[in-house]
Structure 1
Amino acid sequence: MTDIPVRVRPEIAALPPYRQGRQAGADAFKLSSNENPFDPLPSVVERLRARVDVNRYPDAAATRLREALAARYGVAVDGVHVGAGSVSIIAQLLAAVSGPGDEVVYAWRSFEAYPGLALVAGARPVQVPLTADARHDLAAMAAAITDRTRAVIVCSPNNPTGPIVTQAEFDAFLDDVPDDVLVVLDEAYAEFVTDPHAVNGIRLIGTGRDNVLFLRTFSKAFGLAGLRIGYAIGHPRVLDAARSTAIPLSVTAQAEEAALASLDAEAELRERVAVIAERRDRLVVGLRERGWRVPAAQGNFVWLPAGDETAAVAAAFEEGGLIVRPFAGEGVRVSVGEEESVEKVLRIAASVVESLPQGHSGRGLA
């Protein structure tokens, strides 16, 4: 771009900024950002109110939380890294392992931040198309790895389409990945998974796969999206590289306190997660009954493959008081929100599916 007053890398000048899901007015349901619809637990709010020392810097290492997570997973404290959301840890990792001329491989469509994070690190994004049923094509991803590949990202359940990668598929995939290529298993929605065959990062612990790590977040199931805190479990030396590229003091004391309080209240939070998962499953059944071809959903969202009609479908939801997340030319992601929103989603979805042309990819699983 010629109107930038300073010298900016051309690929950054051409890179659109991250666009979050639209905010909703007081009379609409916000189903655009995969947030937890429940208010924070009173016990978590109480702990937050006690942390008013905002005039002091936080513990840069988030030591108490790392110790708690290390005990939870049976790993050394250095095998835990905490960041301002799991996405910030991906940025740190890519900055640590890649640079100009390198490549980062991931499925597409997947989390929309991946391409930008690779470009910012100086690497070339390598996008591998999903299968026809909106799943990772791990064989194709393995085939896309070259001598220039420095990292591979696997998102399970996949955001925004919903399906999981199975443990068997992931294990076989790792056999095809060189030992010096970083594999990031992004499990931001792991707590919502009910499929027993799904990959689980916990099973990686102690397997000797030192190039593989998994990410979790407190934003989704634990309902702390506004505080920005997530973590990685992996080999200490790999995580040291991420720690070296992290922005210092980016995890606030309040976020750490809320995460610790959430771990203490995990049983209560898991009950809420079960409610959301049941609500999600009802949405999938209802949408399919109304004519939508909905992929298997294992996160806290469902995917409507609207294709060229995406903008019109999203507009219909907005007119009905539901703010959803459109991906131009591909589809609409609908987060699982309040119980009162479920029937509205189904009603509007039923009205718009009839406008899709015969043979449209969004129709057919009814």
Structure 2
Amino acid sequence: MAARHHRERPAPAAAESDADFYVPDLCRVRAVFLLVVTSELLVLVLSIVQAESHWIDWNYFGLLSLFVQWTVLTSAALICLIRRWLSRLTVTRATTVIVTIVMLDVLAFSLFADSVLHPQPGLEAWQGVAKKLLLALLITLMVLRYFYLQFQWQQQRESEMQARLTALQARIHPHFLFNSMNTIASLIVVNPERAEDAVLDLSELFRASLRTGDRLIPLSAELDLCKRYLAIEKLRLEDRLTLEWHIEDGLEQQAIPPLTLQPLVENAIYHGIQPRPDGGTVKVEAYRKGPSVYLMVQNPRPASDQGSHDGNRMALANIQSRLHALFGEPAVLKHSQQNDIYTVTLRLPWQKASGNGQPATGSK
């Protein structure tokens, strides 16, 4: 009987440290596009400044664009190739290596351009190369500084999100624990097997509340946690609690932050079912529509104003903040009341969770 609760958990895969590197992945199409557009805007500004009789010196613009794109794309490609190695270095050493790569790249293309496209006497040629190197150094340092500040801001957002997750995981109500233990104690004599299952379900809930390393888990794991929680509440509420599950096939690996649905189900019990003498139905639904996955939790609307309880609002605010931090704008949380039914709806972008708690690449 207890064997079904003891499932082997896969060990988390070793995460590469390049995910914590302050320079973004320059192999991505979006990053390359931004580099090209930004460098072209810089070339346009320099061409306007360089022009003497017109708004822009088109010859200068063309030659400088060719030179800048050569250096930008080749430097980005080299940094992309050694990014994993760079991520193992300190910030100072990695910055030094990146600056050195860019300087050598600019030097090589400067010598080539001056010797082939625009030959000049020796002293003037080296003065031109020195100006290009100085300008490239200043721009590279400014770009790296921008990357570092963006990285620090993102780290701060993730720390705040982790703090919210920890607070949410710590909010297992004491009266739920007391009620569960009393229910288990009453079952030990009359139905020891159900008491054993309840203890295992309760231990799994506490294990999930202590597990803070996973940013994303499969939807199947979150649904299993909800079912364990509802199984304990079903022992206490008995016929007052009716459950309906409508889970579309193929969503088992959908990525979802841990403890996203379980607090919503908990709120449905405490604010929708428990206050009602005749109880009611909690309905959990999940389906995919286009590039999005929709999750809904429904329960009867409370007779009093308990639906606007501070704990309920706090749980919704925490979940919404975590969804926005992990998925951005595509993730939405909404709640509504209609025909005496209270509904919380989550919209998540369709993507699979990998074994290390990160979204699987290429799953969108």
TM-score tier, shorter chain, comes to under 0.3
Bigger relative contact order (CA 8 A; separation at least 6): 1
